[in-house]
Structure 1
Amino acid sequence: MTKRTLIILALFAVGLVGLAVWWNTKLPKVAEIHAMIMAEDPKVLEIRALRRGAAEGDPRDQYGLAEVYRTGDGVTAQPEAALKWYEEAARQGHLDAQYQLGHLYETGSGVNQDYNRAAEWYRLAAQLGRHREAEFRMGQLHFNGKGVAHDFNKARQWYRKAADRGHPVAQFLLGAMYEEGWGIDEDLITAYVYYRLASRDKPRLKAESDRYKIDEVLQRLEGRMSRFQKEQGDRRLAAWRPKA
């Protein structure tokens, strides 16, 4: 190997050493870059704040953290952690947490399916907070006899509460009960009113079930009604206002 070649190799080695020193001292490492990015991520900051508030006992933060763990929004989904924080918030009277607990137990999402416990949490949210989704689900449980007695009258009462607060699926099912006379005398005018109310939110009906074909149902019902009955129904519709 010539003297010139040795000099070139030596200079190259010195350059590599210098570059390595510069890299280690001037540039942040990958882990540091990741930490810097994560430290500024709004979602990370939000979750950190939720954890802090939840640990301090704030039911709103406990519910928010439960939602994060349930949906996996910004973290790995953790059903057990979601259940824990829903329960913490629900025990402090957080209505949406009570409803979500009912929904988890009804559907068996992350917990063993338990209609009795679902009914307990739904009833709590419905009675204490007039939570319209919880009222609707209580109607469903009574209509199908899951976790509670199969009782058309109680189903109708719960559907009515939710329907009068503007719940479109409860309105549809209440209309069906009056049209068919399920647990109550047939009343085509009242059925017409609730079907028409339900028809104002067709996307929600479709999202709930493809069976809720409101246009077909209304066409069938109107074919059974007199003009006088429809006029009465239209007057009631004009005066209808959702309850708080």
Structure 2
Amino acid sequence: MLATGFVAPAPALDAPRATAKANAQPLPIFKDPRAALRAGLESYHAGDAATSVAALRYAAEGGEPLAQWKLGRMYAEGDGVARDDAKAYEYFARIVDHYADDEPDPRERSMAASAFVAVGLYLRDGVPSAKIKPDLDHAFDLFRYAATYFGNADAQYNLARMYLEGAGVRKSMRQAVNWLDLAARKGHPQAQAVLGRLMFTGEASGEPERARGLMYLTLARDAAGGAARDQWIVDLHADALNAASEADRRAAVGMLEGYLRERN
């Protein structure tokens, strides 16, 4: 997997490493990058964004992956700083570059996986304002690595979508359903919604599985809450519920109760 995705990394992933070395100059206010990381996180949680950014930048330039990840999230979401996708991509890409060669500490696996997914999303869609060009092949490799090596549900879901759409890879319903199933079992609501629709309509296996599909759609609808970005999940559930028979609904309730008992 590593050989596939990182033998010849894209230039955009090499640039941050050089930048980090060039800018990793000690600042007198911090003892070392780890101390700066602690100070930055403390300031962030105290609501002092300006101080936290300065400390996290020093820690990031000193090679602290958690600082790089935190800054990536802040710039991606405009959290305490002006949103800047180019900077977010740079920080996430440093983590990808680092963990292409080094095994992450068990406590860092989730953070590392989310960085792989973040870079994958940037490369899948491209961001013209940040001069990030779409690179579906590289995005696919990043999703596949995070999905298999880290078992990350977001990566599994995005990998499934690429198989469904034939984006950067040949279309494969079988592969899509396999990855959706893995993510859905981890409680990923978007994966549950897509898998539920495919089961309900019969696209997943050639035969409609209306009760099981409705079960997954119900789980997804309940997890979605009222977020506007998840309205599509609510709509898919409503469409399936309207089309389901009373027998389908009763069977779905039974499956849902069994599913929840098993998870608990």
Residue 97 of structure 1 is matched in structure 2 by 115
Larger radius of gyration: 1
Q: Measured at CA, do residues 120 and 234 of structure 1 come closer, stay the same or move farther in structure 2, by a change above 3 Å?
A: closer
TM alignment of 1:61-140, pairs within 5 A: 61-93=67-99, 94-109=112-127, 110=130, 111-140=132-161
**Are positions 1:194 and 2:216 aligned together?**
yes
Residue 141 of structure 1 is matched in structure 2 by 162
Q: Which structure 2 residue ranges, 5 or more long, are not aligned?
A: 1-46, 100-111
Counterparts of 1:58 and 1:136 in 2: how far apart (Å)?
Answer: 28
Q: Say if 1:98 and 1:122, in contact at 8 Å, map to a contact too.
A: yes
Q: Which amino acid aligns with 1:102?
A: G
Q: Measured at CA, do residues 82 and 198 of structure 1 come closer, stay the same or move farther in structure 2, by a change above 3 Å?
A: closer
Q: Measured at CA, do residues 208 and 119 of structure 1 come closer, stay the same or move farther in structure 2, by a change above 3 Å?
A: farther
Q: Say if 2:59 and 2:67, in contact at 8 Å, map to a contact too.
A: yes
Q: Which amino acid aligns with 2:243?
A: R
Q: Say if 1:102 and 1:119, in contact at 8 Å, map to a contact too.
A: yes
Q: Which structure 1 residue ranges, 5 or more long, are not aligned?
A: 1-40
Residue 241 of structure 2 is matched in structure 1 by 218
Shift of 1:67: 2.8
Residue 49 of structure 2 is matched in structure 1 by 43
TM-score normalised per structure 1: 0.72
In structure 2, the residue corresponding to 1:50 is in which secondary structure?
helix
Residues 122-167 of structure 1: CA deviation (Å, up to 9, x unaligned): 1222112221111111111111110112111111111111111111
Q: Say if 1:193 and 1:236, in contact at 8 Å, map to a contact too.
A: no
Q: Which amino acid aligns with 1:143?
A: L
Residue 13 of structure 1 is matched in structure 2 by none
Q: Measured at CA, do residues 240 and 222 of structure 1 come closer, stay the same or move farther in structure 2, by a change above 3 Å?
A: farther
Instruction: Give the alignment partner of residue 66 of structure 2, picking from 51, 60, 81.
Output: 60
Q: Measured at CA, do residues 222 and 233 of structure 1 come closer, stay the same or move farther in structure 2, by a change above 3 Å?
A: farther
Residue 241 of structure 1 is matched in structure 2 by 263
Residue 24 of structure 1 is matched in structure 2 by none
Task: Identify the range of structure 1 (56-65 vs 206-215) with the bigger mean alpha-carbon deviation.
Answer: 206-215
Calculate percent identity across the aligned residue pairs.
22
Question: What value does the CA root-mean-square deviation take over the aligned residues?
Answer: 2.6
